[in-house]
Amino acid sequence: MDGSACSSLALPQFCLGDGSSLDSGVSFGSRRPVVIFESGVGGLTVAKHILKLMPNTDLLYVADNLWFPYGSKPGSAIARRVKLLFDELRLLVNPQAIVVACNTASVAISNAGSAAEKGDCIRISPPVVEAAHLSLSKKIVILATSSTLENSAIKDAIAAERQHAAVWPIASQIMVGLAEMKLAGGQVEVYKLAELVSKHLSDEERKSVDTVLLGCTHFPHLVEELRQVFPAALNWVDPAYHVALELQARIEHQTSHTERPARLAAFTSVEGVREYSQVFLDNGFNQTKLSYKQHRAMVMME
């Protein structure tokens, strides 16, 4: 199926990097992948830790690029959207687990009750308490999207920590776009990040921060630039590793197969997929579907 046909079909529809459809029983055979879900490529920070901990696990990364970015949309709409996509993914690939590698989507699911969530979901969330415990100076910055920071649980956690620490939450949708641009090969200018931070902190406050909580999976991609903005920061808290550990504990009983694990990237729109292709290839993902027999043939040729 060509890309235009794939993108014109009624949603939900998942396209692989070559424009073909994600098919039930073809892309992974009888094997059950772990789905990593995000609106863009931010979830690759989670995928990196999963690949290190569970190198033999089949992975399907799903980028809802048709709706990117989530941070600018109402949480209720995101929750309905995610439920629709997850229900279809469960029918297509019967995943061992769905890792919601997006703080905004995780918050939306939480606020909506369990409408989009079943026992197979693992959600990511900014660990505010952990960040506060790590900080020696008690000067903490939380970087996240506005929808994440507006979540009642996150607001309550920040309020509790503010009793004995200076906590500066900074909402930024711009940083999400900068991270996507960087992964696509672009260059991020540090002054843009500095200007964003200067709207919330004085120079003295900024230079006193020793702990930065990365409350969006896109933001670890910008740590190199952010180190220049927060020169005294020693702790960079990324919840992705803890999510990977939770996944490992949940599926560790699964027996590994002998074929090369499939690592596919799927999208909800073919628009912009070319820009994503090299990013996923660089992170160990294939762009076309490989059948069970093809995997076996590849192993036998090695």
Domain borders along the chain are 3-125+241-301, 128-238
| Architecture label for domain 3-125+241-301 | 3-Layer(aba) Sandwich (3.40)
pLDDT (0 to 100) of residue 116: 54
Q: What does the alpha-carbon distance between residue 297 and residue 290 come to, in Å, rounded to a whole number?
A: 10
CB 116, CB 79: distance < 8 Å: yes
pLDDT (0 to 100) of residue 298: 36
Using DSSP, state whether 132 is helix, strand or coil.
Answer: helix
Contacts of residues 110-114 at CB distance under 8 Å and 24 or more positions apart, as own/partner, are 110/151, 110/153, 111/75, 111/76, 111/79, 111/151, 111/152, 112/75, 112/76, 112/79, 112/80
CB neighbour burial string for 118-138, b if at least 16 within 10 angstroms, e if fewer: eebbbbbbbbbeebbebbeee
pLDDT digits 0-9 by tens, 186-227: 999 999 999 999 999 999 999 999 999 999 999 999 999 999
- DSSP letter string over 159-216? HHHTTTSEEEEEE-SHHHHHHHHHHTT----HHHHHHHHHTTS-HHHHHH--EEEE-S
Counting residues of the chain whose pLDDT is more than 90, the rounded percentage is 55
Tokens of 114: 């369990």
Please name the helix (run of DSSP H) or strand (run of DSSP E) that holds residue 237, with its range, or none.
strand 235-237
pLDDT digits 0-9 by tens, 18-77: 777 887 556 677 788 999 999 988 899 999 999 999 998 999 999 999 998 888 888 889
**Phi, psi for residue 169 in degrees, rounded to 5:** -80, 130
Q: Is the pLDDT of residue 134 over 90?
A: yes
Tokens of 145: 């999207």
Q: What does the alpha-carbon distance between residue 69 and residue 41 come to, in Å, rounded to a whole number?
A: 11
Note whether 3-125+241-301 and 128-238 share their fold: yes
Active-site positions? 102, 216
Picking from 70, 45, 225, the residue whose alpha carbon sits closest to that of residue 124 is 45
CATH topology (fold) of 128-238: Rossmann fold (3.40.50)
pLDDT (0 to 100) of residue 54: 92
Tokens of 302: 């090695």
Q: What does the alpha-carbon distance between residue 118 and residue 242 come to, in Å, rounded to a whole number?
A: 20
Q: How many CB atoms lie within 10 A of CB 90?
A: 14
